[in-house]
Amino acid sequence: MNSAFLAASPLALPDSLTGAARVLVHAGRLDADTALRLAQSARERQRGFAQAVVEAGALSASELAHTLARALAVPLLDLDAFDPRALPRGLLDAPLARRHQVVVLGRRSGRLFIGGADPTDQLAAERIRFATQLTPEWIVVEQDKLARLLDAGTAEPLPAPPGGTDFRFDLADDGAGPPTAAESAQVASEVEDAPVVRFLQKMLIDAVNARASDLHFEPYETHYRVRFRIDGELREVVQPPLPIKDKLASRIKVISRLDIAEKRVPQDGRMQLTLGARAIDFRVSTLPTLFGEKIVIRILDASNARLGIDALGYEPDEKARLLHAIQRPYGMVLVTGPTGSGKTVSLYTCLNLLNRPGVNISTVEDPAEIRLPGINQVDVNEKAGLTFSTALRAFLRQDPDVIMVGEIRDLETADIAMKAAQTGHLVLSTLHTNDAPATLTRLLHMGVAPFNVAASVLLITAQRLARRLCEQCKAPADYPEDALRRAGFTDAELDGGWRPYRAVGCAACNNGYKGRVGLYQVMPVSEALQRLILAQGTALDIAQQARREGVRDLRQAGLVKVRAGVTSLEEVITVTNE
């Protein structure tokens, strides 16, 4: 609790005006005379100050809760987001809870999370501490909702989950510091019979089963819709009732450790879904729009990083080049491409191959998307001063063998990463460039010295994701030879020994496609390329030299997949049409 706020006294207030009354006067929500009158009324009627304020109509329950939560830096929780039967029983004597107008939200180790309308009530805190031998942690709740909950009395225990589904949410333990409202409401994570909770549960399970990468919850003026991004394309799956949007947003925020009271600024959090023995992380992003908060949930399935390099779609020669580079004791390997091109999965596949008991691996990301045991992962926190460059400096004092930098964004980060690559460390990172040759010139344009680039970079992989043709319904396609030549096929490749396939569509796929495959340009930095870098050659010069050394560009890599019947010519042209 923010005791400094209570101690500060820019106004000359009577000594008898303490706790929540003083806070409300300081915040400009009540004048001193009204606060004194309400405090006196509360004492005479043996009621809490918060009850007196709401019953007198001086402030609404919502205004009171938001003011106290903001001023005292105490989490705020919406009790309507939960079913009362989900709350724990037996931790606090019911008469004591009613007397002090509190509700038990959960217990964690030696802490008891209690919801109340007045978190400055020290008498209540001391009595609860004495009765439970636990340390009370306040969570602000709205007085009217609290009163309805207490008046409802004791509820029956929760029934077993329907169908025996082993489903639960776990709070993401990201080391964010003091517990939030989400942490205090951990017991509500297994509620199965609340409509909003059941709906969210169904959406998440459906998205995982459909192999979606993202869920979009989008409010509009007259309707509300949910879309999944499957194989790179957004698809509308349902339009739930419009009134559900606020409760659904509150539910997602609670289990993602976000402030449910803050609806004016974007927020980021994460949560975890456990399905049987499988744990799936989700990254949550909220965005205020004209008609409510849009929420996007990204599915971060760590099992993708354990699929192995063969599942990513590297051709044998590309795979050999990449494995040779990451087995080097020092140097830099860069993975490039636009957002959503699979760079993170490629990097973590490499880290998984390197992750052995004798190797110290550290990563810094914004944020860490896939969690792997055995790897020291750090989230960027720019507000606290933890940037890519500061984390990199710290890594170098941590005796690392392998360092992964989520993204090289500026010259300072690039310089430190280059020096780390030259001083006995293997550095993996990403850049947002169109292809591998452009990556080298991008580093030079950032201000990195040419000799540092030439001495540090071992290999660059540019990549895109193309949709795979469904094996059950794909059909041979007849293209004119002129069209195939324009796409990039040579006369030697048009030898009649293969035929392309096209998408058809069936019940087992999405419009003829199922899953995605990577298209890769894997470019080792040879001595000839190093000489070009030192001479500050253009991206065109570097691309021509790479072609002479047998490096395929992204279009050629896609055409290899067309010849193998993995994807369609239309998909390759769409993905590589730059």
* DSSP 8-state secondary structure symbol assigned to residue 216: E
Residues 6+ apart with CB under 8 A from 484: 494, 500, 569
One DSSP character per residue, 221-238 reads SS-EEEEEEETTEEEEEE
Sign of the dihedral defined by the CA atoms of residues 116, 122, 128, 129, in that order: positive
Q: 380-384: which pairs have CB atoms within 8 A and are 24 or more residues apart?
A: 380/406
Residues 124 and 130: their CA atoms lie apart, in Å, by: 10
Helix 61-72 and helix 143-151: axis angle, to 10°? Answer: 110
Is there a contact between 336 and 461 (Cβ–Cβ < 8 Å)?
yes
Q: 477-485: which pairs have CB atoms within 8 A and are 24 or more residues apart?
A: 477/501, 477/502, 477/568, 477/569, 479/569, 484/569
Q: HEC string of 369-417?
A: CCCCCCCEEEECEHHHCECHHHHHHHHHCCCCCEEEECCCCCHHHHHHH
- Give per-residue burial for 436-473: e unless 16+ CB within 10 Å, then b: bbbbbbbbbebebebebbbbbbbbbbbbbbbbbbbeeb
The helix (run of H) or strand (run of E) holding residue 279 is strand 278-289
Residues 244 and 1: their CA atoms lie apart, in Å, by: 32
Cα-Cα-Cα-Cα torsion 541, 544, 549, 553, nearest 10 degrees, comes to 120
Is there a contact between 444 and 318 (Cβ–Cβ < 8 Å)?
no
Q: Enter the tokens of residue 289.
A: 């729009």
Is there a contact between 475 and 195 (Cβ–Cβ < 8 Å)?
no
Examine residue 476 and say whether the peptide bond preceding it is cis (omega within 30 degrees of 0): no
Residues 341 and 193: their CA atoms lie apart, in Å, by: 38
pLDDT at 344: 87
Tell me how crowded residue 352 is: count the other CB atoms within 10 A of its CB: 19
pLDDT at 153: 59
3-state class (DSSP) for residue 45: coil
Residues 298 and 216: their CA atoms lie apart, in Å, by: 9
Q: Taking Cα atoms as reference points, which of 478, 453, 458, 463 lies closest to residue 518? A: 463
pLDDT at 177: 41
pLDDT at 306: 66
Residues 569 and 562: their CA atoms lie apart, in Å, by: 6
Q: What is the pTM of this model?
A: 0.63
* Residue 475 Cα distances to 268, 424, 567, angstroms: 44, 51, 11
β-bridge mates for residue 292, sequence order: 289
φ and ψ at residue 229, rounded to 5 degrees: -95, 110
Mean pLDDT by 10 residues, the chain (578 residues): 42 60 84 85 82 88 87 81 71 82 83 88 83 85 87 44 38 40 40 65 87 93 92 88 88 87 89 77 93 93 72 91 94 92 89 92 87 88 87 91 91 91 93 91 92 94 93 90 89 86 86 90 95 91 94 93 93 86
Q: Enter the tokens of residue 470.
A: 């469904």
pLDDT at 73: 78
Q: HEC string of 324-376?
A: HHHCCCCEEEEEECCCCCCHHHHHHHHHHHHCCCCCCEEEEECCCCCCCCCCE
pLDDT at 567: 94
